[in-house]
Amino acid sequence: MAFTAADVKALREATGAGMLDCKKALQDTNGDIAEAEKLLKEKGLAAMAKRTDRAAGEGRVVIKQEGNKVAIVEVVCETDFVANNPDFVAVAEKAAEITLKCGTDEITDEHKAAMEPALVKFRENISVRRAACIEVPASGVAGTYVHSDNKTGAVVVVDGASSDEVKTFAKDCCLHLAAFTPAYITKADVPESYINEQKEIFAAQMAADEKMASKPQNVKDGILQGKINKLLAESCFVDQAFVKDDKVTVAKKLEEVSKAAGSKLSFGKIALFVLGK
On whether the 5-49 domain is CATH 1.10.1370.30, my answer is no
Residues 123, 113: Cα–Cα separation, whole Å: 15
Distance CA(199)–CA(176), nearest Å, equals: 28
Please name the residues in contact with 103: beta carbons below 8 A apart, sequence gap of 6 or more: 69, 133, 135
Range among 9-13, 71-75, 202-206 with highest mean pLDDT value? 71-75
The CA-based diameter of the chain, rounded to the nearest angstrom, is 92
| Percent of the chain residues past pLDDT 70, beyond the cut | 95
Reported pTM = 0.80
Is the pLDDT at 215 greater than 90? The verdict is no
Question: Quick one: which of 64, 246, 216, 77 has its CA closest to 144?
Answer: 64
**Picking from 12-16, 82-86, 203-207, 271-275, which range would have the lowest pLDDT averaged per residue?**
12-16
pLDDT at 25: 87
58: nearest Cα among 157, 126, 147, 158: 126
Name 108's Cβ contacts closer than 8 Å, sequence gap at least 6. 98, 102
- Interval 231-235 mean pLDDT: 91
Provide DSSP, 79-138: -HHHHTSHHHHHHHHHHHHHHHHH-SS---HHHHHHTHHHHHHH-S--EEEEEEEEEPPT
What mean pLDDT do residues 154-178 have? 97
Identify any residues that bridge with 273 across adjacent strands, giving them in sequence order: 153
d(CA 23, CA 36): 9
Of the listed ranges 117-126, 175-184, 190-199, 243-252, the least confidently predicted one is 117-126
How many whole angstroms separate alpha carbon 172 and alpha carbon 254?
Answer: 11
Cα separation, 137 vs 105, in Å, equals: 18
CA-based angle 22:24:27, to the nearest 5?
110
The DSSP call for residue 148 is T
pLDDT at residue 243 greater than cutoff 80: yes
Burial class (CB in 10 A: 0-12, 13-18, 19+), 53: exposed
Task: Pick the range with the lowest mean pLDDT from 223-237, 239-253, 262-276.
Answer: 223-237
pLDDT digits (tens, 9 = 90+) for 7-56: 888 888 777 777 888 888 899 988 888 888 888 877 765 555 556 566 67
- Give yes or no for a contact between 152 and 273, defined as CB atoms under 8 angstroms apart: yes
Among the listed residues 125, 136, 140, the one whose alpha carbon sits nearest the alpha carbon of residue 264: 140
Residues 29 and 35: beta-carbon distance below 8 Å: yes
Domain ranges of the chain: 5-49, 54-135, 191-235
**105 contacts: CB under 8 Å, gap ≥ 6:** 99, 130, 131, 132, 133
For the cut 90, the answer to whether the pLDDT of residue 268 exceeds it is yes
CATH architecture of 54-135: 2-Layer Sandwich (3.30)
The mean pLDDT of the chain is 91
